[in-house]
Amino acid sequence: MKYKRYALSELAIIKYGKNQKKVLSEDGNIPIYGTGGLMGYATTALYDKPSVLIGRKGTIGKVKYVEHPFWTVDTLFYTIINTDIVIPKYLYYVMSLIDLNNYNEGTTIPSLRTETLNRLKFDIPSIEEQKIALSCLNPIDEKIELNNAINNNLEQQAKALYKN
C-alpha cells in the first residue's frame, strides 16, 4: 500500500458539541452523546452524516464512530470528514490507534484542544485501499458488537434470575 501523510485538519473539520437541554426529549429518537456515552435522546440532530466523535473534556482517551444522525454535548467534538480523502470508518480505525490521553492539556480535568488535534498526522492510503482494509475490519467489528450484545443479554438474564 502507498500512503500519503495528512494532518487531521486536512481529513476532517473538528466541531464543538452543544448544550443538549433544548433538544433533550423523552419522545426523541436521535442519540445524544457525551464523553461518558449515551446521555439521552433528542428530536433534532446536530449532524446527520458519519462522524468520529472525540472527547474534549473528561474522558478523552477513546474515539467513537457513528453513522446515524446524532447530537453531541459540549464536552465532545464531532467531525465533518473529507470523504474525498478518507472513508469515515477508516478515519475512526486510524484514530483508535492513538492514545489521545497523551495529548491531554488539562490540569485537573483531562482536556483536548482542536489546535492540538488538528496537528495530528495520519498515513492514509487511497480510497480503494481503504475499502480493502475495511472489508477485513468491518466483519470483526460486527462480531465484537454481536458478542457484546450477547454478553449484555446474558448479564440481564442472570440479574433477573438472582432477583427471584
The rounded mean pLDDT for the chain is 93
pTM of the model: 0.86
How far is residue 150 CA from its own chain's centroid?
A: 22
pLDDT, tens digit (0-9, with 9 covering 90-100), for 6-23 = 999 999 999 999 999 889
pLDDT, tens digit (0-9, with 9 covering 90-100), for 129-161 = 999 998 998 888 888 888 888 988 888 888 888
Q: What is the pLDDT of residue 148?
A: 84
Residue 34: how many other CB atoms lie within 10 Å: 21
Q: Residues near 13 by Cβ (< 8 Å), separated by ≥ 6?
A: 79, 80, 82
Alpha-carbon distance of 17 to 70, in angstroms, equals: 10
Place of cell 426529549: 25
Q: What is the pLDDT of residue 2?
A: 92
Binning pLDDT at 50, 70 and 90, where does residue 164 land?
low
Q: Which CATH architecture group holds 3-125?
A: Alpha-Beta Complex (3.90)
Alpha-carbon distance of 25 to 31, in angstroms, equals: 10
